[in-house]
Every structure is written in C-alpha cells, then in structure tokens.
Structure 1
Amino acid sequence: MMTQSVTLGTAETSVSEIAAIAYGAEVLLEASALDGMLNVHEKIRQAIADNKVIYGLTTGVGDLVTQRLSPEQISDVQLNMLKSHACGIGPVLAQHEVRAMMAVMIKSLLQGFSGVSPSLVQTMAEMLNKGVVPWSPAKGSVGYLIATAHIGLSVFGYGKSYYLGELLPAREALERAGIAVRIPGPREGHALVSGTYEITALGCLAAGSLSALVPVADAAGGMSLEVLKGNIRGYDARLHALRPHKGQQETARILRCLLSDSEILDKYRDFRVQDALSLRCIPQIHGAVRDVLSYCQKILTTEVNSVTDNPVFMIEDGELNVLPGGNGHGAPVALCLDALTIAIAQLSTGSQARSDRLTNSHLSGLPAFLVADGGANSGMMIPPYAAAALAGENRALAAPASVHTVSTCAGQEDHISMGVTAARNAIDAVENAIDIVAIEILCATQAVEFHRPLRASAGTELVLARVRQRVAFRQSDTEMYPDMLAVRELIKQGDIYQALKPIIFPTAVNGESA
C-alpha cells in the first residue's frame, strides 16, 4: 500500500524521492511540465512533416547515423530500436530497481527537451501506480541502453512485466491493470535508451542505503569502543576542530552523543592511553565516508534533475532547434559511484577489524569469543570470519569500474562510462556492509552483558534493547545465522536508526533543525 506520493515535474527532485518511488510511492505529474512536453512534441511532428534531418528520429542511430528514414518508418524504427537494444543478460533486476529507473526516466522526459508525447510519461506513471513493473536482466549495460530498452518494450506491450508481483507477458500485464497499450510515437524508443537513467537510479538506491547505514555504523563502533574499555578523549570536539573536515566533526559529535552517561566508560576512563586505529579513528574513517557520500548525493541530485538525452530539442523564437551532444555519457555519476564504493569498503574494513578485536580475548580482556563456557562452545568465533569475507569482497568491488572503457558501435561510441557496473558495485557493497555492521552489533551486544551490573551508554543501551527483542544473550552454542539475519533486518528496516535518532539529533526532537 502506498504511503506517500511524489510529484515529478520541472521542480527539483531529490535522491530520496527517487528512492521513495522505487519502494512504492505514488507518482504524480506536474501539469505544466506535461504542457511543455506537448509544445515540443508538436514541433517535432512538424519537423518530420518538413523532412528535416534529425539524429535518431529521421536517421538511424550509432554507426547507422547516415541512414535516412521516411515518416512512415518512424514508429516501426522506434519499436525496433527497443527490440534490438533489449540485450540484457544475467540475474534479473529487483522490482524496486526498475521502478527507480522508470522514475528517473519520467523525470528527465518531463523537462520537455526530448520531444516525446506527454502520454508516454503518463503511461509510465500509470504503470508505477498500478503495480506494473517491467522485467529486465541486470547485466549488459556499458552505461545505458540495456535495462531501459527492456523497460521500453514493456511500456509498448512487448517483453515481460510483473503485475502485482506476478510475471506476465507485458501486454497482458498492461491489460490486467487497465492501461491502454500504445504505439511508439516519434523518438519514443530512442529517448528511453539514450540517457544515464540506469546509472542514476541505481546510484540513488546505493546512496540512500549508505546514508541510512552510516549512523548505525557509528553506533556499532561506539559500542565496540565502550565494551573494550576505550578512551573517548579521541572524540573531543577541540581535537576535531584542528582538522575541521565536516564529516569528521559530525561523526565525533554523534559518537559523543551516543556514548554519554556510561558507567563502563567512567570506570575505565584511564584504562588505556590510546586505542587501536579502528576505534580511535572512527571519526576520521566514517567522517571521510560521510564526505564522499555528500559529494555523491550532490552529483546524483544534479543528474536526476538533468536532461541526458541525445539529441535535445529546444524551441527558440518559435522555431525548433536540435542540439546533438554527449549528455548521455555517464562519467560524472560513474566516477562518484566508484568513489562511493571505495568509501563503503573503508567503513566495512573498520567494522570487520572491530568485530575481530571484540572476539579476541588477548586484545579485548573479555571471554574468548564472547562466551563464558569456552571450549565446549565456539560462541562468536565465526561471525567475524563472515565479516572478513564480505569486507574482502568489498575491497574487490572497490576497484574502479569507470577506468575500463572500450570502443563500441563500430567506433562511433569509443569511450563508454561503465557506470552501471560502478552502480552495481556500490549496491552490492552496501548490502555487504549492512551484514558486516550487523555482525559487529551482534558481537558488541553480547560483550555488553559481561560488564553488568555497570550501565552502558545511552546509545548502547538503546541498541541492546532493540537487539534483545529478537536475539537472546548467547550462553551456549545455537544456530548462529538466524541471529545474524535478525540484526541485519533491524538495520535494513530502520529500527535501530529510528531508536537512535533522538540521541543523535536531540534538537530535531524538539522541533528544531538537526
């Protein structure tokens, strides 16, 4: 059931609004944007009647740019373009990923520079709102062309689509939803495949997931420091004022809030002069992650609100002006997503190092593998292994995808972005990072119990209470994977973050800006 709506038009659309549509928000269309589309579309039809040469409309595409098309061929060519470009391979895109792509496509077309009919975006919005989601494989795109071609096929009743979760022939899915099946108009194949929609949509989802994870990773790191009798003076505001990176200062502030009112930290205030880097440098590591995330969100916001079609159509002095160009090249987003995946790898390796430290009695001073009856029980021995495997995978995913450009299309498209690979890497990495942080929280909450009756900090007690609703203190070995999954779900569903928000952003609770 849809719990909110998002209006798409010429006003700025946020990364979070694209994510909201991906996960089910209703799509509304701005009337003035539809009017602007109609104005340009009518000029396009006139240009066709006047037999003007327009790339991708009255000519072929790519290396077929020199081939001229008659007005009678245009509709068939637009459909053929989708059929020939729908070359996806590999695993299937998740439905929320396809919905995000459709949202980005609609947003771009609504700017009124692509020449398509308003009825095209109205059909796509109707599909989103009535539960019709095109089917597409996830792989095969060098930055554009693939998933959007599969989406385009479904819009016109070809290919396959889900209707309320059931996979059907696309025409049947549209008919069941009561959506009229359209014939492609001018540019309505080409415009759907020539932008950075795939990269941008997947990037929005990756950035949104990481944004929700970072505060939870702060809490996990703070818990680890606390149960390891750490030194919180490394989080002092005066120290971070001397190196005033915004993300670093914000992370230190959050840690100070989370670790307030701790009897454990008070008791062990002078236990250790200086901690290991994975504990001492959480503000520096997570802060750098925050700064890269902020940069990436800025790039993604610009891209969501851009026109990445080619060519674009403008009306100047009442005349149609056609501008061919390269706005469809995915370099800006590909580069920032490569950086985002590197940042995720940094967060992952820090968390994994702390999980290993928590279970190492030689370093922690806690029972070996966080179980009182060791020897007979392995306790938390193996979850940090899983974290190590995922952190290793994230290091591999952090190898930049955008440097692997090759020549395609008979040399016409001889520098491609590999942006979809960059986006896919970021999505996979953040999913791994959620599991890595979940393992740290599972270990840290187990460790807290060995400090009783001392009270832990405000943040730690809140996280512990949430975890204990689903995961019991481990006194002997039982199946481990259900507990790991339970903590993952607490993170993924936002339970832990929502519980921590009043501590992290105390002024926001009182109705002020955080």
Structure 2
Amino acid sequence: MLLALRINVLAKGHSGISLETLHAIIEAFNASCLSFIPEKGTVGASGDLAPLSHLALGLVGEGKMWSPVTGWSNAKYVLEAHGLKPLSLKPKEGLALINGTQMITSLGAEAVERALAIARQADIIAALTLEVLKGTTKAFDSDVHAVRPHPGQMQVAWRFRSVLDSDVFSSEITEKYRPHQRVQDPYSLRCSPQVHGVVNDTIAFVKNIISTEMNSATDNPALDYLAIGVHELASISERRIERLCNPSLSELPAFLVNEGGLNSGFMIAHCTAASLVSENKVLCHPSSVDSLSTSAATEDHVSMGGWAARKALRVVEHVEQVLAIELLAACQALEFHRPLKTTPPLEEVHQLMRSVVRPWDCDRFMSPDIEAAHKLLREEKASTPLTNHTISG
C-alpha cells in the first residue's frame, strides 16, 4: 500500500522526479519487490521521513527487500532476480522519494476500510443480541429517528429494522415474548443506533480525509479521531456481552452454558472482551496532543501521525475481536430459545456461525472459536443478510 500510494503521489508531477525513475519504481511494484520498512520512527512532521527512506533504500539496491520469488534477501539481489536495476537517482529525486506521509496514509486507509466493515456488522450482531435478550423493536421506529436525523443514526436504525421482527420478516421469539416486552430496554440495546451512528459518521468523516490525502501531493492526516470513534463499538458491545452472560439480566443460563457450577462458559470470553476494551481506552489517548520539536527546531510542531495510524489500526482490530465474542455469545444464547426461530436474516447469521463453530455443551478451548468468528468478520460475512434480505422504510 505504501509503495502504491507513493507512486500515486509522484505520478502527479509535483515532486520533481523523472519519468524514467517513476517507471522503474512502477516496475518494482508490479514485480512485488518490497523494501523492508520499520513501523516505528516517524513523527509525521515534514512526512514519514524514516520509513520512506527505508522504502527508497531498497529501490536503490541497498538494505533488505522481499518478493514472492526470492523471499527476504539483499535488495540488489531481489531486483536482479526480477531483471530490474537499482535506481540511479538524479537531482532532487532523493528528496522526492522520502518526503511524504504515505506510511501514515496506508495504515490509515486500512484502518478506515476495516472500521467500515466492522461497523456494518456490529449492527447485525447487536440486533441478534437484542433478539435473544427479548428486547423491543420500538426504539428503532423511523419516526423516532426522524426527529433527530443524524445520518449515521438513521442508517443504523434502518439496519436494525431490516433484520428484526417486522411486517416483512417475522420472528417466533419476538412473537412469543411480545406480551411481556419491557417498556424500554437498557441503553446498550435501545441506544445502539445513537452510539453506532456516531461511529458511522466519524468513519465517513475520516474516510473523506484519507481519500483526499491519498490523492494529494503531501500532507499529515491524524487518525486519533477514528480510534476514539470506532472504540465505542467495542465499549457498548462489551456491555451487551455482560447482559448475555449475566442470568439476572438475560433470563438465560449463567454464562450461556448448562451446569454452570461445573462449566465457566463465556465467563472468560467476557473477561477477554473487557480486557480489550480497557486496552483500547489507553490506545485512544490522542497522540496528536503531544508534540516534540525536531530538526533543530525547524519542525517544532509535529503531528505524531505515525503512532496515531498504528494505534488506530490496533484499536480497530480489538473492536473486531470484541464483536466476534459478542457474535459467539448471541448465537449461543439463541440455542436456548430453540425450537423457536428468529427472523430469516438473523437465522442466516446463526447458520453462518454454526458452519465454523459448534454450540457449547460444556467447556472447551475457546480461542480457536474466537479466531474463527474474527475471521468471518474480517471477511465481512456477517453483513451478508443486509444484501440478501433488503427492505425499505
């Protein structure tokens, strides 16, 4: 990604690089000849100078480089193995290669794309949790959200309506417990559109910044805002996991397993989710509030964008893992409602999960199951009901 974005910047013709050198870099990219680049060492001042210097180092035939043919080896050897020559830099070209923010932007682009994917799937997972906890759908009525018409909030409410009990899709679980529904559910259930919605709006805002940055000559994007926003998906998910596991709140077996005195069920899985959420709270401290003067006080106010990008990506991964645990827990909770069925879209989610993870009859090694659920979310499988079963209104 970093090399592709650097080529995109240089191709605009604002960086003082020859067409011959640019074509040579493109040939290296097409051959997947990739320089070794340490992830640390940039303050995001004039740009990602240290990482981009390592990028250029490989292209001039020095340092380490990787390709599918050679694996890791000496950069000159890797280039020669693909019939390529090391760059011979002309005036200004060294500066052109190392002055930019493409490490920040490439990590940021991945964080945004993964955040978009997990935000869509978080709505489906939360809807399934609401269903197995016998929640009411009244809080998602379109008229309710029209009086507070934040775009993300309205979109999330629509997603909930698309998969929960309605005139289009019926749920045997909702129908059975409708006479006993509470007037209102706890915040973690009924306020999901408000919380998830803000996350959606935040991601859209950051995506616009990253898209502009990717197609600019150079600048410094900060990703602290994305980390803070997307963290909320995990924070509210952990609260829903607690409700699923707590028999006094769920009216389900303790920790979602029979013979709770012998089996711990989802107790440790919830602890894992809580640990990830707690770690995110530290990672969400904005790196951009810190600045150290560098370059003999010429770059005396810097963005720390490299660290912001790396920790934003880590926060997104933690969010994915917490929601994977909630998905496992919600599907397990659904087992206790059988033979009743939920709506067709949510049944599809349950079947998808059961294709890779079997129900819990007793305790077992849970790590592989969490990894399998996380893989489904990374592949965006949990959002398929939104495309397979779409309703309007």
Structure 2 residue 27 is the aligned partner of structure 1 residue 117: no
How far apart are the structure 1 equivalents of 2:177 and 2:21? 65
Q: Separation in 2 of the partners of 1:506 and 1:115? A: 53
Amino acid at match of 1:186: P
2:330 counterpart of 1:420: no
Q: How does 1:363-378 map to 2 (within 5 A)?
A: 363-378=249-264
What's the offset of the Cα at 1:500?
4.0
1:383-462, aligned counterparts within 5 Å? 383-462=269-348
Amino acid at match of 1:138: E
- The partner residue of 2:130 within 213, 217, 225 is 225
The Cα of 1:375 is off from its aligned counterpart by 1.0
In structure 1, the residue matched to 2:173 is 264
Q: Which amino acid aligns with 1:177?
A: H
Deviations 1:440-490 (A, max 9, x none): 000000000101111112332111111101100110111111111111111
The size of the alignment, in residue pairs, is 384
CA distance in 1, matches of 2:140, 2:43: 43
Where do 1:71-86 residues align within 5 Å?
A: none
Once the two structures are TM-superposed, the CA of residue 124 in structure 1 deviates from its matched residue by 2.4
With structure 2 as the length reference, what TM-score do the two structures score? 0.95
What per-residue deviation string (whole Å, max 9, x for no partner) do you get for residues 162-210 of structure 1?
1117111111111112222221122222112211212111111100011
Q: Deviations over 1:363-405 (max 9, x none)?
A: 1000001012221111111101100011111111111111111
Q: Check conservation: 1:163, 1:177, Cα contact below 8 A.
A: no
Residue of structure 1 aligned with 2:213, choices 287, 294, 303 = 303
**Quick one: which amino acid aligns to residue 302 of structure 2?**
I
Q: Gaps spanning 5+ residues in structure 2: where?
A: none
Deviation at 1:146, TM superposition (A): 1.6
Q: Map Cα deviations across residues 219-244 of structure 1 (whole Å, 9 max, x no partner).
A: 11111111001011111100000100
SS at match of 2:287: coil
CA distance in 2, matches of 1:277, 1:410: 51
Indicate conservation of the 8 Å contact 2:202/2:229, yes or no.
yes
Matched residues in 2 for 1:123 and 1:267: separation?
Answer: 67
1:88 aligns to what?
A: none
Residue of structure 1 in register with 2:58 after alignment: 154
SS of the aligned residue for 2:66 comes to strand
Hey, what's the Cα distance between the residues in 1 that align with 2:143 and 2:163? 18
Instruction: Find runs of 4+ consecutive structure 1 residues off by over 3 angstroms.
Output: none
498 and 184 in structure 1: CA distance in 2 versus 1, 3 angstrom threshold: farther
Letter in 1 for 2:228: I
Distance in structure 1 (CA, Å) of the matches to 2:28 and 2:373: 35
Looking at structure 1, the residues matched to 192 and 345 of structure 2 have their Cα atoms a distance apart, in angstroms, of: 16
The structure 2 residue matched to 1:195, chosen from 90, 100, 105, is 100
Quote the offset at 1:340 in angstroms. 0.5
What does residue 40 of structure 2 align with? Answer: 139
Please list, as runs of the form range in 1=range in 2, the aligned pairs for 1:283-298 lying within 5 A after superposition.
283-298=193-208
**Alignment correspondent of 1:381:** 267
Helix, strand or coil at the partner of 1:409:
coil
Name the amino acid aligned to 2:9: S
Provide the residue aligned with 1:83 in structure 2.
none
Distance 2:203 2:270 in 1: 26
3-state SS, counterpart of residue 244 of structure 1: coil
1:496 aligns with 2:386: no
Matched, 1:102 2:3: yes
Q: Which SS does the other structure have where 2:289 is aligned? A: coil
Shift of 1:506: 5.6
- Quick check: 137-146 or 161-170, which moved more? 161-170
Separation in 2, partners of 1:124, 1:459: 47
Structure 2: which amino acid aligns with 1:304?
A: M
1:327-342 counterparts in 2 under 5 A? Answer: 328=219, 330=220, 333-334=221-222, 337-342=223-228
Query: 2:114 maps to which residue?
Result: 209
The runs of 5 or more residues in structure 1 that have no matched partner are: 1-99, 309-327, 508-514
2:33 and 2:386 map into 1 onto residues whose CA distance is 36
Q: TM-score, normalised by structure 1?
A: 0.73
Residue type matched to 1:166 in 2? G
Shift of 1:415: 0.8
C-alpha separation in 2, matches of 1:500 and 1:469: 19
1:119 and 1:266, CA in 2 relative to 1: closer, same or farther beyond 3 A?
Answer: farther
Deviation at 1:268, TM superposition (A): 2.0
**Per residue, is there more strand in 1 or in 2?**
1
- Give the percent of matched residue pairs that are identical in Structure 1 and Structure 2: 41
Distance 1:498 1:181 in 2: 46
Task: Compute the displacement of 1:131 (Å).
Answer: 2.1
